[in-house]
Amino acid sequence: MHADRDGRDTGGSGGGSTLLSEAREDAVAPYAEGDPILQVRGLAKHYPLTQGILFKRQIGAVRAVDGVDFDLHAGETLGIVGESGCGKSTVAKMLVHLERPTAGSIRYKGEDISRLSGRALKAVRRNIQMVFQDPYTSLNPRMTVGDIIGEPYEIHPEVAPKGSRRQKVQDLLDVVGLNPEYINRYPHQFSGGQRQRIGIARGLALNPEIIVADEPVSALDVSVQAQVVNLLDRLQAEFSLSFVFIAHDLSIVRHISDRVGVMYLGRIVEIGSDAEIYDHPTHPYTQALLSAVPVPDPSAREHRERIILHGDVPSPANIPSGCRFRTRCWKAQERCELEVPLLAVPAVFRSADTPARHDSACHFAEEKRVVPPEGEREGPSPDAPGRGGPAVEDLPGPGEPRAGRLPEEDGTPSQQEDGTP
């Protein structure tokens, strides 16, 4: 697999390099090493609501995504969390061009891909692949595993010449921890976790640089979830992939992400490194979301303050004025109704040197720790020996937010599914 990647980078990607040179002419700023690989600005998707059968009039719009900004750096995992209907999946679809944005731009290596079409689009798509949520419906039941994983090569034949495809598919099966001999089997012969591995292998087939994963583990059983999360972690290191990881499960997002963005009703309300968001949240919605997550430890219950939000998320067809969270916010004041809060470092923290100094779209941002640090809890957790030591580690000192994830050797065994259906 390493050879593949190198091969492509040097000579194999004729289509890709010509595209880049064409694009450079009209790009605003040339892409330089170290720039974000993906820059999303003002991204919006509005679905029109119409009335009448013959003469359709637009009577409104569902503003599923309504102005989303973020950067994705090479080799990084950006987690996007939010409740259902917040627009996180629509963002994913726009990133891989399954939906066309109503407004805004998606710059891949400095070039806006949101308006591309035809050959230019096809070349870009090769580098941004998607892993879907439901491994039961995202695989064609009438195709063999080999055909499913090999299908991307039909569309991008330059990646793998016809003769070598079968071998490549078998390599991919091996990479995701499935037996290469299963190449002629059908999806129904595999379990949920194994199917998700097939979906991941398909996503990897074209050696993409970015993988957009939309709830890749939420359909799986707990014991299988861990296997797939570990696989994604390993693949990222092995192929230096950049991940956009979309999920509603805050614990899994923390586990896998370097940076996290919290979405509410079509907008990102808070974004920062994982420690900034989980240990130093400043937006009331993030705080409520974090406090609502059940922690599998009854003794943690006494140490946690629960913020229970009232009511439901408003309809995206009828978004409240000003701050869109104000209808459920306990801090809301008149200003929240009149003025839309921008996603920026709140004024109170602007000059402070704390991890609370990160982008948060709230007029009354205030740090509040809702997830207790490990050390504060009584009673060892079941895995105390492995986790007990670095208890203080989750409390970064001022001014040293924990960037990047350090794989730590703590003797935790990693095991793979044995690959037998």
Residues 304-363, interacting with other proteins (CB under 8 A): 306, 308-310, 312-313
Interactions with other proteins, residue window 204-243 (CB under 8 A) = 221-227, 229-230, 233
The first and second tokens of residue 181, run together, are 């001999």
Q: What minimum distance in Å lies between the beta carbon of 274 and other proteins? A: 6
**Dihedrals φ, ψ of 346, to 5°?**
-60, 145
β-bridge partners, 131: 213
Under rule CB under 8 A, residue 385 binds other proteins? yes
Which residues partner with 403 through β-bridges?
none
Q: What are the CA-CA distances from residue 310 to residues 288, 321, 363 (Å)? A: 10, 18, 20
| C-beta atoms surrounding 377 within 10 Å | 18
Within 8 A by CB and 6+ apart from 360, the residues are 269, 270, 272, 281, 282, 283, 286, 343, 344, 345, 346
Closer to other proteins by Cβ: residue 30 or 375: 375
260 binding other proteins? (CB under 8 A):
no
* Those residues with Cβ within 8 angstroms of residue 33's Cβ, 6 or more apart along the chain or in another chain: none
The nearest distance, CB 120 to other proteins, in angstroms, is 39
Our CB check for other proteins shows the closer of 105 and 218 to be 218
Out of 106, 252, 343, 356, the residue judged to bind other proteins by CB under 8 A: 252
Among 59, 155, 384, 392, binds other proteins (CB under 8 A): 384
In angstroms, rounded to a whole number, what is the distance separating the alpha carbons of residues 283 and 281?
6
CB of residue 250 to other proteins, shortest distance in Å = 6
**Which of the ranges 27-35, 126-134, 336-344, 381-389 carries the binding residues for other proteins, by CB under 8 A?**
381-389
CB atoms within 10 A of CB 14: 10
Residue closer to other proteins (CB basis): 28 or 406: 406
User: Please, which of residues 66-95 interact with other proteins by CB under 8 A?
Assistant: 83-84
Site for other proteins in 135-194 (CB under 8 A): 191, 193
Pick the stretch among 5-13, 28-36, 44-52, 386-394 that binds other proteins (CB under 8 A).
386-394
**Whole-Å CA distances, 62 to 49, 70, 86, 91:** 7, 22, 11, 14
Structure-token pair, residue 178: 């499935």
Binder of other proteins out of 37, 287, 371, 401 (CB under 8 A): 371
Told to check if 397 binds other proteins by CB under 8 A, we report: no
For residues 166 and 304, which CB has a smaller minimum distance to other proteins in the complex? 304
Binding positions for other proteins, 282-301, rule CB under 8 A: 288-290, 292-301
